[in-house]
Amino acid sequence: MSDPTITAARRILDDSLQELREAVDGCTTEQLNRRPAGDQTNGLAVLATHALHSTRAWLSLAMAASLPLRDRPAEFAVVVRDPAAFLETFDVLAGACRSVLATDRPFDPGHVGTAPWRPGSLAEEPVTAAWALLHALAHLREHVGHAQLTRQVV
């Protein structure tokens, strides 16, 4: 029998990834790269890229899987030149997120790990797998909302 927490997490993840893809699907290069309120805001490409990399990393921590290499600052500097290639990359990263939860490895909510991509001393702060799982899904939902609102104005 599969873990009901992970089963629920898979459904939330799938719904969120679908909504995020819908927010970027059909956008032009200009729409994907446009920062709607100036240089201090993030465009759709940045929101989606960051959300996917972050989700994969936090889910990996939650599932005690190997942590992916991550260049967090590069996520915020992404510029799309080809929308079709961007969507292909999106789909690959979304698949990587799903695959982290598609394991038979038991979920241990009390497992403790660290997130080396976090800034400063937070990189060494221990977090439980339960916290990492909930954070991954909440953070993704937050950026789905950002992307949906951004899509309305670009």
Residue 112 structure tokens: 């403790």
Beta-carbon-side half-sphere exposure of residue 43 (alpha carbons within 13 Å): 18
Is residue 93 predicted with pLDDT exceeding 80? yes
Cα 119 from Cα 98, distance rounded (Å) = 26
Cα 27 from Cα 125, distance rounded (Å) = 39
Is residue 41 predicted with pLDDT exceeding 70? yes
DSSP 120: G
Per-chain mean pLDDT for the chain: 96
Beta-carbon-side half-sphere exposure of residue 125 (alpha carbons within 13 Å): 9
**Which tens digits make up the pLDDT trace of 22-37?**
999 999 999 999 999 8
* The amino acid at 106: P
Residue 103: predicted pLDDT: 86
Residue 39: predicted pLDDT: 86
Residue 1: predicted pLDDT: 59
Residue 96: predicted pLDDT: 98
**Which tens digits make up the pLDDT trace of 47-84?**
999 999 999 999 999 999 999 999 999 999 999 999 99
Q: Name the residue ranges covered by the structural domains of the chain.
A: 4-153
Tell me what the mean pLDDT of segment 11-29 comes to.
98
User: Is the model more confident about 64 or about 38?
Assistant: 64
DSSP 59: H
The burial of 154, by beta-carbon neighbours within 10 Å (0-12 exposed, 13-18 middle, 19 or more buried), is given as middle
pTM listed for this prediction: 0.96
Provide, rounded to the nearest whole percent, the portion of the chain with pLDDT above 70. Answer: 99
Q: Tell me which CATH code domain 4-153 carries.
A: 1.20.120.450
